[in-house]
Amino acid sequence: MLEYLAVLIFIAAGIGVVLFTFFFARLLRPSNPYPEKTINYECSELPFGTPWVQFNNRFYIFGLIFVIFDVEAVFLFPWAVAFGQLGLYALIEMVIFIVILFYGIYYAWRKGALKWV
């Protein structure tokens, strides 16, 4: 288990290196902000309204479909690793599982949820 320590150390080292670069750049770079510079960029127009608006619910629907398939991946990974020992029974079971999921995709397709308008 000691090798999982590498993950923690790499996280710390990665964050450390990036923060050090930011700090180092701060020592070198000029800093001269004025009001025109600090408004956000909208092709040189004055920005109107807030950009933090409600978003198209298409994104939400695709998120939902993705969650279904990601959960499926959770089941598929151990299945794939152990497949060599499991044989035909596991294969048929997984085919049934995938077919049921694809019926879901087919339903979403027919309902027009996969169409991006």
Partner 1 sequence: MILATAELIGIFKWLHGLLVDLGLKEPWLTVVVYGLLSVTIFGVLCLIALFLVWWERKIAGHIQQRFGPMRNGWHGWYQTVMDALKLLQKEDILVDTRDRPVFFWAPVICFVAAFLAYIVIPFGKGLIVADLNIGILYIIAITTFTVISLLMAGWGSHNKYALLGGMRSAAQVVSYEVPMVASILTVIIFSGSLSMVDITESQQGNFIFNWFIFRPPFGIIAFITYIIAATAEANRTPFDIPEAEQELVAGFNIEYSGMKFAMFFLAEFVNMFTVSAIATTLFLGGWNGPLLPSWLWFLGKTLLVVLLLMVFRWTFPRLRVDQLMEFAWKFLVPLTFANLILAGWMKYAGWYW
Please say whether the dihedral angle defined by the alpha carbons of residues 15, 19, 24 and 29, taken in this order, is positive or negative: positive
Q: How many residues bind partner 1 (CB under 8 A)?
A: 67
Q: Count each helix (H run) and each strand (E run) in the chain, helices first.
A: 4, 0
**Which of 100, 102, 104, 111 is in the footprint of partner 1 by CB under 8 A?**
102
- Asked if 104 is part of the footprint of partner 1 (rule: CB under 8 A), the reply reads no
Q: How far apart are CA 70 and CA 104, in angstroms?
A: 14
Q: How far apart are CA 60 and CA 9, in angstroms?
A: 35
In 10 A of CB 22, how many CB atoms? 9
Contact 45, 67 (CB under 8 A): no
- Asked if 24 is part of the footprint of partner 1 (rule: CB under 8 A), the reply reads yes
- Asked if 81 is part of the footprint of partner 1 (rule: CB under 8 A), the reply reads yes
Q: Closest separation between CB of residue 81 and partner 1, Å?
A: 6
- State the residues that interact with partner 1 by CB under 8 A: 2-7, 9-11, 13-15, 17-19, 21-22, 24-26, 28-33, 37-43, 47, 50-52, 55, 58-59, 62-63, 65-66, 69-70, 73, 76-77, 80-84, 87-88, 91, 94-95, 98, 102, 105, 109, 114-117
